[in-house]
Chains A and B, each alone.
Chain A
Amino acid sequence: MHSLLSMKGIDKAFSSVPALRQAHLEVAPGEVHALIGQNGAGKSTMIKILTGVYRRDGGDVRFDDKPADISNPGQAQKSGIATIYQELNLVPLRSVTENVVMGYEPRRLGMLIDWRTAHRRTREILARFGIDIDVRAPLGSYSTAIRQLVAIARAVSLDAKLVIMDEPTSSLDDREVEVLFGVVRELKNSGVSVLYVSHFLDELFQICDRVTTMRDGQTVAVRSIAETSKLELIADMLGRNVEDIEAAGMTDLGGGEKQLGDVLLEADGIATGRRLFEFDLSVRRGEIVGLGGLLGSGRTEAGRALFGVDALTAGEIRLKGKRWAPTGPAGAIGDRIGMLTEDRKAEGIVPDMSVRENMTLALLPRLSRNGQIQTGRERQIVEEYIKALGIKTSNMDQPIRELSGGNQQKVLLARWLATEPELLILDEPTRGVDVGAKLEIQAIIRQYVDRGFGVVLISSEFEELVEGADRIVVLQDGHSVATLENPGITEDALVKAIAHHHTGEHA
């Protein structure tokens, strides 16, 4: 078959640890090709070699019928390879147009930037994707979804032949995902190939043609999407048999007899200034209570209110039967409440600090005597959690930014578990985490509640809520509108609960 991109026998080692071993990848013209694998399987390394961020140790890369020897990202762009990163590399304070044409501005009289043409061209490209926005407004005034589409528009305007999308949907809601898929199909129709990296397997079936699976630095399978199943892909990624996985079940939160204890926390009609208007909740010991709803329904805001980040404007919270006035994260932690935040990069990790330092930050008050950290005890605790949670790190002093997403998330989870909170609020604990780590994290959460603690689980994945939560409180426009009880909740029932109230409210 004729290929647009062909990478063969790629080897790459980092300080003599092999990251890629004879890996290969082929993308046909006009094809949407998925690249999947667990964190650390070698996907990113493969892409970074393709885009010139890393140099390969061995192997051949051909692009567009020419041997491609790309040594830096700029060169990749010139040869027609555009990458849409998870952390978008755009300039939020400048206009949409500027972001699209930057570096390639249309000129007048050889010098002056022809803004009229620039705006028109930008509008045309966005219109192709069915987006109509004010291109003069600063990019930062738009949602992540729009920003992502602008990044794609930039790639298209530069005549990219291959667009690489790295986890493009991880911060989009359902409608935005649909728009993105529309754009991907539009790219495909105009003959542009897309290399699509995602942890959400369901998506692949909607838009991809073929899928390459990597594991431990090797290419383990290349399949046509039409002839494969989700289970088969998971089996490829994990290197196990389909039958074994079917027996084990897909999500590990559920299972075990529930023995619920006293009521730990009750919220009664609480509201904050941030999109939370009337929210009721009760959590008992040994219980995982899910918060379901669409993006913007107030799920995260509810968590922030319970953790004391946003001040209450109405309602009351009772903790272990006593009225409790939130005073902020420090106060909440003092009263043994913890919260794992949704935005791991901005609100979770401290990138330059080591795994050890990141893990013990919330624990410092208890680790210090007269302000001095007891480093011996610190190392001991960190050692324990690294072992217990199976965190893959070369040593505890490795900077956390060098870890994969799943392992970073485990460190953050350990950070909270180490403070031994009675109530743990988890906002999207498995987002952007690969299948294997996800199962492990879910198992850790279940073990934790089984010790008589409570968890509030916020998730945009219906499957995770349905299978993991003992109860699901459904939110909509900042109100808690329904409660579903497990066992017995199905994804359908949850979707209906969310949708029903949606139509009901606005009818």
Chain B
Amino acid sequence: MPGSDAFDLRQFLRGDGRNAGVWIALAALILFGLARYENFGSAYNIVSFLNYNSMFIIISIGMCFVIMTGGIDLSVGSVAAFASVVAAYLSPYGIEVALPGGVLAGAAFGAINAFCIIAMRIPPFIATLATMLAAKGGALVISGAQTISVDWGSNFTKLGMEKAFNILPWTIVIVAIVAIVLWVVLEQTSLGRTVLAIGGSEDASNLMGLKVNRAKVFVYLLSGGCAGLAGVFLASGFGAGQPLEGIGWELSAIASVVVGGTLLTGGLGSVTATVAGALLLGLVFNILNFENGRGTISLSAYWQMVIRGGFLFVVILLQTRMNASRQKAG
């Protein structure tokens, strides 16, 4: 990092200043949880919560980059499922092979997306809808529509259990590293700024000689690769490659990104706020589980989804209101 610039915490948290809502909601939810449930703040709950949500966080970050260019990637859920099967097949060779293998499988779908969108000029929505179906079909074909058990003898399943440096599970550490690297890419590099410029005005970006296509290839490869990594986490955490998983993940990811203040039209966005968005969405389930655990209410998984939807709505409303008042003041 250039030495002349001090790290600006406010900018780090705030991104473009549009996403105060997500941080407030996240803080409120955490405080609520801490006040109401005894074990909410326990190390066990925190670690297992982060561990489980690492898949969604990683997919949301990839999605965030795609959306910032004004695109969309609907294929992430099926690609994760496909990659989980690939990783399960590769698990006997150990994590050293299965992890890159799963990521590459995801990135391969990202490459197909990039090719369709950039070279063939198919709108992202359509192109990634097609790869979504293709990846889902592909996952069923290579798995024979069965869950593929991982090799429990190898070190593959330790990804989600063994702790790195005896502190945190590897999944969480990997997610943290990816998030930090991509935050730097977005905030500090010309690639990141090109991504935002494309979303702001693709014509202008082209006429300024920015490497528009290269940046677009990057975001789709990244999104595919992130989905692949999520697939690896899935296989490792649940002990099996799951061809039928991943349904609706793309929508959760888009929700996390939007809650994080990223514009669906592109041009504005934040990695940190996207992570916060993903955490927020996960936390709603976590809290509902605690509430069920108290025995005062008993909500089925279906009702939990309804509540999460309502909560999402409230946060986005809060977000828009705050932006509106901010613009009036400015």
Query: Is the C-beta of B45 less than 8 angstroms from some C-beta in chain A?
Result: no
- Is B209 in contact with A352, judged by CB distance below 8 angstroms? no
- Is A330 in contact with B205, judged by CB distance below 8 angstroms? no
Interface-lining segment among A150-158, A370-378, A437-445, A456-464: A370-378
Query: Is the C-beta of A346 less than 8 angstroms from some C-beta in chain B?
Result: yes
| Known contacts A353-B196, A353-B267, A375-B2; A332/B209 CB under 8 A | yes
Query: Is the C-beta of B201 less than 8 angstroms from some C-beta in chain A?
Result: yes
Query: Is the C-beta of A23 less than 8 angstroms from some C-beta in chain B?
Result: no
Chain A residues in 8 Å Cβ range of B5: 375-376
Query: Is the C-beta of A182 less than 8 angstroms from some C-beta in chain B?
Result: no
- Is A349 in contact with B201, judged by CB distance below 8 angstroms? yes
How far, in Å, is A362 (CB) from chain B's closest CB? 4
B2, B203, B208 — most chain A CB neighbours (10 Å) = B208
| Chain A contact residues: helix, strand, loop or mixed | helix
Q: How far is the CA of A376 from the CA of B2 in the complex (A)?
A: 7
Interface-lining segment among B112-120, B187-195, B275-283: B187-195
- Is B207 in contact with A350, judged by CB distance below 8 angstroms? no
A331, A333, A353, A368 — most chain B CB neighbours (10 Å) = A353
Query: Is the C-beta of A287 less than 8 angstroms from some C-beta in chain B?
Result: no
| Chain B residues with a Cβ closer than 8 Å to the other chain, count | 31
| Known contacts A15-B330, A346-B201; A364/B207 CB under 8 A | no
Query: Is the C-beta of B200 less than 8 angstroms from some C-beta in chain A?
Result: yes
- Is B205 in contact with A361, judged by CB distance below 8 angstroms? yes
Chain B residues in 8 Å Cβ range of A332: 209
- Is A364 in contact with B201, judged by CB distance below 8 angstroms? no
Chain B residues in 8 Å Cβ range of A15: 329-330
Query: Is the C-beta of B206 less than 8 angstroms from some C-beta in chain A?
Result: yes
Chain A residues in 8 Å Cβ range of B208: 329, 333, 361-362, 415
- Is B204 in contact with A352, judged by CB distance below 8 angstroms? no
Chain A residues in 8 Å Cβ range of B190: 364-365, 367-368, 371, 373
Chain B residues in 8 Å Cβ range of A353: 196-197, 200, 267
Chain B residues in 8 Å Cβ range of A362: 208-210
| Known contacts A346-B201, A376-B2; A371/B189 CB under 8 A | yes
Q: Knowing that A341-B207, A352-B200, A373-B193 are A-B contacts, what are 13 other residue pairs whose CB atoms are under 8 Å apart, sorted by A's residue number?
A: A14-B330, A307-B207, A329-B207, A330-B209, A347-B207, A350-B267, A352-B263, A353-B196, A361-B193, A361-B205, A361-B208, A364-B190, A376-B5
Residues of A within 8 A of B (CB): 14-15, 307, 309, 328-334, 339, 341, 346-353, 357, 361-362, 364-365, 367-368, 371-377, 402, 415
23 residue pairs from A and B, CB less than 8 Å apart:
A307-B207, A330-B209, A333-B209, A334-B209, A339-B207, A341-B204, A347-B203, A347-B207, A348-B204, A350-B204, A351-B267, A352-B200, A353-B196, A353-B197, A361-B197, A361-B208, A361-B210, A368-B190, A372-B188, A372-B189, A375-B5, A376-B4, A377-B2
